[in-house]
């Protein structure tokens, strides 16, 4: 059976495009009384972007802090707050921020029309009711969250996405100007998320011509961006690389690095981008060319990865980490094929972790 996957319905792209957010929200306000819920990264509290939100009476701005990875608890609290403001439901949810904020916005839009806790929907195709119309405005490039159907959340027992057609954004607004001020390390780690999506997609068993076309273009753009200094034009390229990397994995899957990185994030609280980099650096056996190029790019951008994070970790926490990684069957299957369990027993995962 071939996957019949849903994609973002509308894309607005271009420098300065953020000014058109007003028009995009206006289109969905229609004659309805409900306002728009803006879910915004709190790093924007004191910078001009927030001043430019097209706010109307009855709209709400919900600041979110993503120093920690997004959790089901955060999503449930935001959905409760929106309901408490008598936005039942809002005309739209707008997410403005990096991948974590976009994932929170996707999950909140799902939770406004579905009962229970967001933890109930961590998994594949568990969401029943269509979500509230939602718009994604990325301010950081690389995660592919703007185009993916997953909203990755740390839940009470696992780090796993809400993977649903209902979580896909109805509209995204890609304005490269919004990413210009991203600090260097964050820019690099998040960009490497995209690079690693491509490497894992292009070397996976799920690969097909569709994924290859997007993955190869994304990889080419990543190379243009990261083999030179960060300069004019690189923000545009990375934004489009992120979109293409996301499209590539939409029809294939990520692999060993992401599986291990999920465990790292869950137990150590590492952000996705840096978690991927720490894991990827230890995976030359699986991705020899990719890891060599990655190290070269780290060198060019003066990135020194943290080391010894897992070396001396307590056994119980390593058990948890290993359990999380091994629960992600599709990622391993894509990377290693049908008999992946034979090639990746628990002892092997632990050994890989101990190198990090």
Stretch that binds Fe ion, among 90-98, 166-174, 187-195, 221-229 (CB under 5 A): 187-195
What is the smallest separation between the CB atom of 47 and Fe ion, expressed in angstroms? 26
Q: Give me the helices (H) in 85-233, please.
A: 99-111, 184-202, 209-226
- Choice between 114 and 218, CB closer to Fe ion: 218
- Choice between 192 and 336, CB closer to Fe ion: 192
What is the smallest separation between the CB atom of 31 and Fe ion, expressed in angstroms? 40
Rounded alpha-carbon distances, angstroms, from residue 211 to 192, 218, 247, 296:
18, 10, 7, 25
The reply on whether position 41 binds Fe ion by CB under 5 A is no
Distance, CA of 134 to CA of 101 (rounded, Å): 13
Rounded alpha-carbon distances, angstroms, from residue 187 to 145, 192, 198, 301, 310:
15, 9, 17, 11, 25
Rounded alpha-carbon distances, angstroms, from residue 29 to 104, 121, 267:
21, 28, 41
Rounded alpha-carbon distances, angstroms, from residue 227 to 84, 148, 233:
49, 26, 14
- Choice between 62 and 192, CB closer to Fe ion: 192
- Choice between 95 and 246, CB closer to Fe ion: 246
Return the bridge partners of 64, or none.
Answer: 41
Stretch that binds Fe ion, among 74-82, 175-183, 188-196, 201-209 (CB under 5 A): 188-196
Cα 208 from chain centroid (whole Å): 22
Angle at 166 between CA 197 and CA 100, to 5 degrees: 45
What is the smallest separation between the CB atom of 195 and Fe ion, expressed in angstroms? 10
Total residues interacting with Fe ion, rule: CB under 5 A:
1
What is the smallest separation between the CB atom of 15 and Fe ion, expressed in angstroms? 25
Distance, CA of 63 to CA of 300 (rounded, Å): 35
Residues 310-339 that bind Fe ion (CB under 5 A): none
What is the smallest separation between the CB atom of 191 and Fe ion, expressed in angstroms? 11
What is the smallest separation between the CB atom of 186 and Fe ion, expressed in angstroms? 14
- Choice between 217 and 258, CB closer to Fe ion: 258
- Choice between 279 and 344, CB closer to Fe ion: 279
What is the smallest separation between the CB atom of 28 and Fe ion, expressed in angstroms? 29
Stretch that binds Fe ion, among 60-68, 186-194, 204-212, 263-271 (CB under 5 A): 186-194
Burial class of 165 by CB neighbour count within 10 A (0 to 12, 13 to 18, 19+): middle
Q: How many CA atoms, within 13 angstroms, populate the side-chain half-sphere of residue 318?
A: 18
**At which residue do the structure tokens 């632990």 appear?**
350
What is the smallest separation between the CB atom of 279 and Fe ion, expressed in angstroms? 11
- Choice between 114 and 334, CB closer to Fe ion: 334
Site string for Fe ion, 255-294 (x = CB under 5 A): ----------------------------------------
Phi, psi values for residue 171, rounded to 5°: -145, 140
In the chain, the N- to C-terminal Cα span, in Å, equals 38
- Choice between 36 and 152, CB closer to Fe ion: 152
Residues 189-218 that bind Fe ion (CB under 5 A): 193
The residue number with the shortest CB distance to Fe ion is: 193
Which residue from 101, 106, 96, 78 is spatially nearest to 38, judged by alpha carbons? 96
Residues with Cβ < 8 Å from 196, sequence gap 6 or more? 254, 257, 258, 276, 280, 290, 294
What is the smallest separation between the CB atom of 253 and Fe ion, expressed in angstroms? 11
- Residues of this chain that interact with Fe ion (CB under 5 A) are 193
């Amino acid at each position: 059976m071939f996957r019949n996957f849903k994609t973002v319905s509308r894309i607005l792209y271009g420098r300065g495009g953020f000014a058109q957010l007003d028009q995009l929200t206006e289109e969905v306000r229609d004659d309805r009384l409900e306002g728009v819920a803006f879910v915004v990264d709190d790093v924007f509290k004191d910078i001009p972007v927030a001043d430019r939100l097209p706010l109307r009476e009855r709209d709400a701005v919900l600041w979110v802090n993503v120093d920690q990875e997004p959790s089901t608890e955060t999503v449930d609290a935001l959905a409760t707050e929106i309901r408490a403001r008598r936005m039942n439901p809002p005309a739209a949810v707008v997410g403005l921020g990096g991948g974590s904020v976009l994932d929170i916005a996707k999950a909140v839009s799902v939770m406004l029309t579905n009962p229970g806790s967001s933890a109930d929907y961590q998994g594949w195709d568990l969401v029943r009711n269509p979500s509230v119309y939602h718009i994604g405005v990325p301010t950081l490039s690389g995660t592919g969250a703007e185009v993916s159907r997953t909203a990755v959340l740390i839940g009470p027992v696992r780090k796993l996405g809400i993977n649903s057609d209902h979580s896909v954004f109805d509209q995204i607004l890609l304005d490269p100007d919004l990413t210009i001020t991203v600090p260097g390390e964050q820019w690099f780690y998040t960009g490497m998320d995209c690079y690693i999506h491509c490497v894992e997609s292009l070397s996976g068993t799920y690969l097909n011509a569709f994924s290859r076309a997007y993955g190869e273009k994304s990889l080419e753009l990543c190379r243009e961006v990261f083999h030179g200094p960060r300069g004019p034009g690189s923000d545009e390229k990375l934004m489009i690389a992120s979109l293409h990397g996301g499209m590539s994995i939409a029809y294939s899957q990520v692999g060993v690095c992401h599986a291990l990185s999920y465990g790292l994030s869950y137990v150590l609280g590492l952000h996705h981008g840096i978690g991927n980099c720490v894991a990827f650096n230890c995976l030359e056996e699986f991705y020899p060319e990719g890891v060599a190029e990655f190290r070269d790019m780290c060198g060019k951008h003066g990135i020194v990865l943290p080391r010894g994070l897992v070396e001396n970790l307590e056994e119980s926490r390593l058990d948890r980490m290993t359990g999380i990684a091994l629960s992600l069957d599709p990622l391993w299957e894509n990377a290693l094929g049908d008999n992946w369990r034979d090639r990746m027993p628990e002892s092997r995962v632990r050994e890989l972790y101990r190198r990090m």
